A and B are shown apart, each in its own frame.
Chain A
Amino acid sequence: MPAIKERSHKAQKVLERFEKKLNRQIVGSLVACVHCGMCTQSCHYVLANPGDPTYAPAYKGDQIRKIFKRHFDWTGRVLPFWVKAKSVYTDEQLEELKDVVFGKCTNCRRCTINCPMGVDLATFNRMARGLLVSVGVMPEGVAVVSKDQWELGNQMGVLKEDYIDTLEWMEEEMQMELDDPQAKIPIDKKDCDVYYSINPREVKYDPRTIADAAKIFYAAKENWTMASEGWDMTNFGLFSGDDDLGGSVAVRLYEKVEELNARKLVISECGHGYRSTRCEGQNWGKKDVNFTMESSVITMLDYVKSGRIQIDAGKNDKIYTYHDSCNFARSCGMYEEPRELLKLVVNDFREMYPNRSENYCCTGGGGAMSMSEYSQRRLKSAKVKADQLKATGANVVVTSCHNCVDGLNDLIKHYKLGMEVTQLVNLVAEALVLEPRVAPEEIPAAPEAVPGADGLKGKKILVTDDEPDFLTFISTVLEDNEAEVIKASSGDEALKLAESEQPDLITLDLSMPGRSGIEVFETLRKNSKTQNIPVCIITGRPEMRKLIYDRPVPPPEGYVDKPADEDDIVLNIRKVLKAGHEKS
């Protein structure tokens, strides 16, 4: 008689929880697969790895299915060898399962759409992620982001003071641009019609989207507010499979909306955030809400169609295509509204093929952008997406998802497509035609002078980048804004110049040959002569964000994604210099 295998504590706990997670939807998907192969060609991982069957959705599903059959289905209990039922015994087997459920699937649900049996791999793949997370088996990036969202209330670890500071900064920028001191970003205002919730990525890496939304609310004369807490509408519980996190995050947001007695929760352009907040959160959190929830795409579309804001599509004069986010489109049905809005705010729109429910994932979905160990695998699988983008002939890809912005930017750089990525909020704000403002009778006191507000005059900036074109571009942008620019094309040169020139700020590329930007950054921080010089990272490698923030030195003061436009660069550098000025 063969010896009875001993099961590890973690494996035992996974099995105990597995049973509790089973419901009709999951069981249906676990038993329905007939291995017909229809899913195979629908998966971007398979298309990039045609000789490797372990990427096939049916195979990936089988890694979970065999455990289900062994323990919870009579066929596997009675005839395990017949139905390929197999249990899980060791921690190593859990690690192998982790590699499949986190590293070989973005939960994009394209295979689901193409399954004649209705097998929803993403649903039970997510469940399997949750089982592993419950015993501490997960990619490090998932752990970092989940812990941030549990403990600090947002998934990027943005501190409350930094969030408020960013809103105030954006308000100042808007007031200057509109020449109206009454243009506000209200915080915790009660009884508003609109409560605007955002993705922490907007605070940390892309504050212009907040300013653009504020400009649109201003133009629409909306009675709106943002919140000091409960402002993050993203939800890493969707990606990690942790329903407790999903419920906790959603309820924090719902309770704040109720506390402020807002009539409508508007969710900024984020695919998984929209799905989590609008569609899943009430189930996870076991809470009903008495207010309306809608995507900002719908809000903006209503403003344009009702004439509440005026638009000049001619201001957006490039060639645009649209990328359907998996969560926003395939999982929530938002196909036509973003296209309708896009066609109203640009003149040249080119459809991408395939599109809508058949569109391919940006390959950064399902939390993949936080899992740096799978970056190469992810970028390889992005080939089909790159081909799709290229075939449109567009030079700008628009998407209603922050995660897709990062995923697309990364693959565009990897495949050298030379395209920009933007969101509808940016295009609507750009196309706004504002009514001439009637000056008030009393001229308000001039705001306190902000260094750099009228340019970067008098500021010495060291620009570091190994790509000559980008080095010239950033330098030109800064010189146009009256900064004194010093250029370095390598890490070693940057270190020398930083010490000898003592600039007011250093911009730093992360991926450079020789000494990498990460190493240069750490060396700058450890050198007493350079440690207090603010650093703004400008990189096309979003997956390296975590690495730079994990260094045992204070984090960089600014961060800009490539490709970056002139406004992004100048805005971020002015923010860093302003923060430095306030500190001093």
Chain B
Amino acid sequence: MTEEMKINNSILRVSKDDITMLEVDCFVYYAQSNLKLGSGFGGAITLRGGQSIQKELDSMDPINVTQAVITEAGNLKAKRIIHANGPKFQEEDLERKLSDTILNVLKLADKEGLETIAFPPMGTGFYGIPLDVSASVTLKTIKDYLNGQTGIKEVTLSVIDRREFEPYHNRLLALS
């Protein structure tokens, strides 16, 4: 399950993968403000990447909604992890916050000179943002960013099943 398109000089792709297993310059973890990795992908990051990632996060201050920080990726195949505190659970002004979060991730990746980046379906699932809202906001924000000046060459939307794949895939096709 993969679909991709070219935007300016970059590739935007939707793919079914385990994001914590990807060999990319960085992937995004949908973080909490206290930067505790917790369960889900956070648990996989800890188990596969080692304790050093949480230790690095522990040395940082809590972050506000829309902010993002970057760490090393321990034993994972990715080089770095961007921890982005996106909106959660029907929070107010959700779409703007989600867009700002994604924008902050992309800016941080550019600042760090990272060329390949993977996003999970931002805020969906446990945090309850509807898939179609997340797909629409995420892909529009990324497309607009890639149309500007950027060193990012590849952006992958990494989903885990068909249910997640379809809205992102449909939205990607609608962008072209």
Which residues of A are interface residues toward B (Cβ below 8 A)? 9-10, 13, 134-136, 143-148, 150-153, 157, 159-160, 244-245, 248, 251-252, 255, 552-555
For A137, give the chain B residue with the smallest CB separation: B89
B54 interface residue per 8 A CB criterion: yes
Question: Are A136's CB and B125's CB within 8 A?
Answer: no
Distance, CA A573 to CA B38, complexed state (A) = 27
Given the complex, which residues of A lie within 8 Å of B175, measured CB to CB? none
- What are 12 A-B pairs at a CB distance below 8 A? A134-B89, A145-B39, A147-B39, A147-B40, A147-B125, A147-B126, A148-B43, A151-B160, A157-B40, A157-B47, A251-B162, A555-B47
Question: Chain B, 63-89, contact with A by CB distance < 8 Å: what is the 0/1 string?
Answer: 000000000000000000000000011
Question: Are B18's CB and A160's CB within 8 A?
Answer: yes
Distance, CA A143 to CA B39, complexed state (A) = 9
Given the complex, which residues of A lie within 8 Å of B163, measured CB to CB? 248, 251-252
Given the complex, which residues of B lie within 8 Å of A144, measured CB to CB? 38-39
Question: Are B43's CB and A152's CB within 8 A?
Answer: yes
Question: Chain B, 142-173, contact with A by CB distance < 8 Å: what is the 0/1 string?
Answer: 00000000000000000011110000000000
Question: Are B125's CB and A151's CB within 8 A?
Answer: yes
Question: Are A255's CB and B162's CB within 8 A?
Answer: yes
For B41, give the chain A residue with the smallest CB separation: A151
| With A151-B126, A248-B161, A552-B54 as contacts: A135 and B39 at CB distance below 8 Å | no
Given the complex, which residues of A lie within 8 Å of B51, measured CB to CB? 552-554
For B92, give the chain A residue with the smallest CB separation: A9
Question: Are A159's CB and B162's CB within 8 A?
Answer: no
Given the complex, which residues of B lie within 8 Å of A134, measured CB to CB? 89-90, 128
For A230, give the chain B residue with the smallest CB separation: B161
B97 interface residue per 8 A CB criterion: no
Given the complex, which residues of B lie within 8 Å of A248, measured CB to CB? 125, 161, 163
Give min CB distance, A207 to chain B, whole Å: 18
Give min CB distance, B56 to chain A, whole Å: 12
Given the complex, which residues of B lie within 8 Å of A160, measured CB to CB? 18
B22 interface residue per 8 A CB criterion: no
B114 interface residue per 8 A CB criterion: no
B48 interface residue per 8 A CB criterion: yes
Cβ contact of A148, chosen from B18, B39, B58, B160, cutoff 8 A: B39
Closest 8 A/B residue pairs (Cβ): A151-B40, A136-B89, A147-B40, A150-B125, A147-B126, A157-B43, A144-B39, A150-B126
Question: Are A147's CB and B160's CB within 8 A?
Answer: no
For A285, give the chain B residue with the smallest CB separation: B163
Count, A-B residue pairs, CB within 8 A: 75
Question: Are B39's CB and A153's CB within 8 A?
Answer: no
Query: For the side of the interface on B, what is the size category?
Result: 20 to 34
For A145, give the chain B residue with the smallest CB separation: B39
| With A151-B125, A554-B51 as contacts: A252 and B161 at CB distance below 8 Å | yes
For A144, give the chain B residue with the smallest CB separation: B39
B31-68 contacts to A (CB < 8 Å)? 38-44, 47-48, 50-51, 54-55, 58
Cβ contact of A152, chosen from B40, B54, B55, B88, cutoff 8 A: B40
Given the complex, which residues of B lie within 8 Å of A135, measured CB to CB? 89-90
Give min CB distance, A315 to chain B, whole Å: 39
* New A-B contacts (18) at CB < 8 Å, excluding given A146-B126, A151-B125, A252-B161: A9-B92, A13-B90, A134-B90, A135-B90, A143-B126, A147-B39, A150-B125, A151-B40, A153-B161, A157-B40, A157-B43, A159-B47, A255-B161, A255-B162, A552-B51, A552-B54, A552-B58, A553-B51
Given the complex, which residues of A lie within 8 Å of B162, measured CB to CB? 251, 255
Distance, CA A245 to CA B40, complexed state (A) = 14
Q: Which of B18, B40, B89 has the most CB of A within 10 A?
A: B40
Given the complex, which residues of B lie within 8 Å of A554, measured CB to CB? 50-51
Distance, CA A145 to CA B126, complexed state (A) = 10
For A12, give the chain B residue with the smallest CB separation: B90
Given the complex, which residues of B lie within 8 Å of A151, measured CB to CB? 39-41, 44, 120, 125-126, 160
Give min CB distance, B153 to chain A, whole Å: 27
Given the complex, which residues of B lie within 8 Å of A252, measured CB to CB? 161, 163
For B50, give the chain A residue with the smallest CB separation: A554
For A146, give the chain B residue with the smallest CB separation: B126
Given the complex, which residues of A lie within 8 Å of B41, measured CB to CB? 151-152
| With A148-B39, A148-B43, A553-B51 as contacts: A153 and B160 at CB distance below 8 Å | yes
Question: Are A159's CB and B44's CB within 8 A?
Answer: yes
B100-129 contacts to A (CB < 8 Å)? 120, 125-126, 128
Given the complex, which residues of A lie within 8 Å of B88, measured CB to CB? 136
For B89, give the chain A residue with the smallest CB separation: A136
Distance, CA A9 to CA B92, complexed state (A) = 8
Given the complex, which residues of B lie within 8 Å of A150, measured CB to CB? 40, 125-126
Distance, CA A252 to CA B160, complexed state (A) = 10
Distance, CA A478 to CA B90, complexed state (A) = 54
Give min CB distance, A535 to chain B, whole Å: 15
Distance, CA A10 to CA B126, complexed state (A) = 16
Distance, CA A469 to CA B48, complexed state (A) = 38
Distance, CA A46 to CA B160, complexed state (A) = 43
Distance, CA A147 to CA B88, complexed state (A) = 13
Distance, CA A244 to CA B127, complexed state (A) = 11
Given the complex, which residues of A lie within 8 Å of B55, measured CB to CB? 552
Given the complex, which residues of A lie within 8 Å of B48, measured CB to CB? 159
Given the complex, which residues of B lie within 8 Å of A148, measured CB to CB? 39-40, 43
Distance, CA A343 to CA B125, complexed state (A) = 44
Give min CB distance, A454 to chain B, whole Å: 31
Given the complex, which residues of A lie within 8 Å of B47, measured CB to CB? 157, 159, 555
Give min CB distance, B10 to chain A, whole Å: 26
Distance, CA A159 to CA B76, complexed state (A) = 14
